[in-house]
A and B are shown apart, each in its own frame.
Chain A
Amino acid sequence: KAGVTQTPRYLIKTRGQQVTLSCSPISGHRSVSWYQQTPGQGLQFLFEYFSETQRNKGNFPGRFSGRQFSNSRSEMNVSTLELGDSALYLCASSLEASYNSPLHFGNGTRLTVT
């Protein structure tokens, strides 16, 4: 069974630009969550989608947004990039949006903002 797939693996963008990251969940998984990982802050929750609806959102500015499609694939978008947005962005999927359905992570997209 294929795992969570994230594309692209690496991205280099310039401050002020926008970026879109893509995530394909494990087949059959309907919940997709996004996390930002940095050396200083660790893993921080961005948002989660279940059946195309945003179920929860973390404490990030409105420049961070996402969406989920009918096939459960998800995208996240960051507009007006800042240097501090440089991070590893991780997508995770689970069978359902529930505490007894563990998250399975992809290998992330490494975003560098210059």
Chain B
Amino acid sequence: EDQVTQSPEALRLQEGESSSLNCSYTVSGLRGLFWYRQDPGKGPEFLFTLYSAGEEKEKERLKATLTKKESFLHITAPKPEDSATYLCAVQGLSSSNTGKLIFGQGTTLQVKP
């Protein structure tokens, strides 16, 4: 069964203090791994898609990396506006041509000024 586990559940950082969020996954043939950001009262906002081990993607202070078993979302010198819940999701071979994603429980990040 496809499964996604994110850690930590919550993370508090001081502004400027870099850190990483972890997403471990078990899937029968990875077609894509997705990172989303969700603000309170809003729907998830798409950040990145990663397809194969070794791949990296960057956007402003965020950098996502992928290995065969996990993905990391590195946050460099975060600002208070980076505070949100970060969700990781995978799409396996069996549902690669559908909208079915398996989501982790998310990591809630709080960045204090």
Contacts and interface: CB of A to CB of B under 8 A. Distances in A.
Interface size class of B (residues with CB under 8 A): 20 to 34
Contacts, number: 71
A6 B29 CA distance: 33
Is the contact region of chain A dominated by helix, strand, or loop, or is it mixed? strand
A98 B97 contact: yes
A100 B32 contact: yes
A43 B31 CA distance: 19
Interface size, A (range): 20 to 34
Contact of B31 (A55, A56, A99, A104): A99
Interface of A: 4, 31-33, 35, 42-45, 48, 50, 55-56, 58, 90, 92, 94, 97-100, 102-108
9 contacts: A35-B103, A43-B87, A55-B97, A90-B43, A94-B99, A99-B32, A102-B49, A107-B41, A107-B43
Interface of B: 31-32, 34, 36, 41-46, 49, 51, 87, 89, 91, 95-106
